[in-house]
Structure 1
Amino acid sequence: MSKPMSDTEKKKKSGKGELRETIVILIQALLIALVFRTLAFEPFSIPTASMQSNLLIGDYILASKYSYGYSRYSLPFTEVPLNGRVLGNEPQRGDIVVFRPVPQTDNYVKRVIGLPGDTVQMIDGILYINGEAIDRELIGRSEDRDSNGLTLPIMEYRETLPNGVSYTIQEVSNTAEYDNTGEYVVPPGHFFMMGDNRDRSLDSRSLNTVGYVPFENLIGKAQWRFFSINDNIPPWQVWRWPGNVRWDRMFTSVYAE
């Protein structure tokens, strides 16, 4: 006949059971978060001015992984032996995409301008695709501040792509380094990316640093801003939120202007 447990023994057993249950719940939560990040959405921060005024320094966005399918670049570990894309869908012209340039290790966020087989050229700040000038309407003059705190006067334009996608771009001038280029011919299976802040964006116009982006290197399609704060202030510094959080930008589509 077994000896009845004392109150102390019962408490110890109960405590061990509660600890085990807590550990199981934490492991399950981590697995759910990993699956969500791998297959559904991944958060990214915007540290530079290259996509202003659409994406500001200090914006935090969610990129959908499923939009373009999955590759080793869209998975948490690029060492995964996966070649090409699974369930791949090509981006549309005008999509804002998170990608990994070759051979860099940093993630970039830019807009898809050129599709495979397109020719792309800049002439006096005007974008040409397949020999046709893209509609560009002057909105007005403003000022833009970059990640170094440098403020410059800019011109804002509304640019409309051939498929009807329309968005605002910024130009410091129409004679900057990449405002006049030769023709770029986008290779098969590659895409041509550009920033909306044309004179402050390192993008596919620089063939040696970004260049044409392979379909495999796309990580996801930018969808929503879920947080935004001035000057890249770390979000965990909650005591700095008053006066710095951009509440009007939270939970908004990156395509709504």
Structure 2
Amino acid sequence: MSNRNKLNSKIGQLWKQNRGFVLFLGLMLVFRSAFADWNSVPTGSMKPTIVEGDRILVNKMAYDLRVPFTHISLLHLADPERGDIIIFDSVASDTRLVKRVIGLPGDVVALSDNVLFINGKPLNYSDGAVAGAVNAHAPKQAYELDKTEDLVGIKHSVRVNKQGSHLSTFDAVVVPDGHYLAMGDNRDNSADSRVIGFVPRSEIVGRTRSVVLSFNYENFYIPRKDRFLHTL
């Protein structure tokens, strides 16, 4: 038997022995690409809603049925709604991001001292607890504060610096067709539409509404029991 025939025979044997595993692996990759997946969250840009170490469940069929491993939509199912937490592959930042939808196409959005205005109307806020100092040597007035924001019927927590930042204010902008204005809940510490611009609809890969599990990066990666299957 020639060397080529021996090689082909070995490949054939390996395929017979492992084809079940290979098919399972392929189907799992297709499922994660087109139907559902989980994403780790390495930064605090969505605090206090999502914290570093969270693994969030991503529903990739929330808005579209796509060709696996691509952004090509086979079937349009829905559009993002105000308040949705979306996952998108940002071309502008060259990374995958997790942010909250604030402005829909056609909305006029402005921000003044961390108070959002949508279509000329300010959102309602209720004060929460002091979240902690920005750093160990920060003066008391530089503490972060958690607030509840009423995003036109969607109530959720946001975190702001009491002294504000260069991200705390922007003039009114109109969200263009086919785009969304997205922001992190950690308003003074998030590189979102205020930095990278509007989010194209085609970049959005899914929506999240829950944490699968979470690891505490500051405590030897011990799982956080209170974050297991936590609803966002």
Give the TM-score normalised by the residue count of structure 2.
Answer: 0.84
Identify which of 63, 67, 82 aligns with 1:68. Answer: 63
Identify which of 174, 188, 191 aligns with 1:199. Answer: 188
The 2-side partners of 1:57 and 1:145 are apart by: 16
Paired letter, 2:194 = R
CA RMSD of aligned residues (A): 2.7
For residue 13 of structure 1, what is the aligned residue in structure 2? none
The 2-side partners of 1:232 and 1:90 are apart by: 37
1:154 to 2:149 alignment: no
Tell me if structure 2 keeps the 8 A contact 1:71–1:216.
Answer: no
Paired letter, 1:64 = N
Identify which of 157, 175, 187 aligns with 2:164. Answer: 175
Higher strand share: 2
The 1-side partners of 2:172 and 2:13 are apart by: 66
Deviations 1:144-175 (A, max 9, x none): 679xx99972111000111x111100001253
1:114 to 2:103 alignment: yes
1:227 to 2:213 alignment: yes
Paired letter, 1:193 = A
For residue 8 of structure 1, what is the aligned residue in structure 2? none
The 1-side partners of 2:163 and 2:123 are apart by: 15
For residue 6 of structure 1, what is the aligned residue in structure 2? none
Paired letter, 1:222 = T
Give the superposition deviation at 1:21: 5.1
Paired letter, 2:120 = G
In our comparison, the structure showing a higher alpha carbon Rg is 1
For residue 46 of structure 1, what is the aligned residue in structure 2? 41
The 1-side partners of 2:43 and 2:227 are apart by: 17
For residue 248 of structure 1, what is the aligned residue in structure 2? 226
Deviations 1:31-86 (A, max 9, x none): 220221122112111011100111100111111110010457xx4356xxx3x663
Q: Structure 1 stretches (4+) deviating beyond 6 angstroms?
A: 149-152
Number of aligned positions between the proteins: 219
- 174 and 92 in structure 1: CA distance in 2 versus 1, 3 angstrom threshold: farther
The 2-side partners of 1:32 and 1:189 are apart by: 32
Q: Secondary structure at the match of 1:53?
A: coil
**Unmatched runs of 5 consecutive residues or more in structure 1:** 1-16, 234-239
Q: Secondary structure at the match of 1:28?
A: helix
Paired letter, 2:97 = Y
**Unmatched runs of 5 consecutive residues or more in structure 2:** 1-11
The 2-side partners of 1:122 and 1:48 are apart by: 23
Deviations 1:199-225 (A, max 9, x none): 00111112xxx2101111101101321
For residue 129 of structure 1, what is the aligned residue in structure 2? 118
The 1-side partners of 2:66 and 2:20 are apart by: 30
Tell me if structure 1 keeps the 8 A contact 2:214–2:227.
Answer: yes
Give the superposition deviation at 1:142: 1.9
Give the superposition deviation at 1:20: 5.2
The 2-side partners of 1:88 and 1:111 are apart by: 19
- 33 and 169 in structure 1: CA distance in 2 versus 1, 3 angstrom threshold: same
Tell me if structure 2 keeps the 8 A contact 1:85–1:216.
Answer: no
1:37 to 2:26 alignment: no
Moved more, 26-35 or 181-190: 26-35
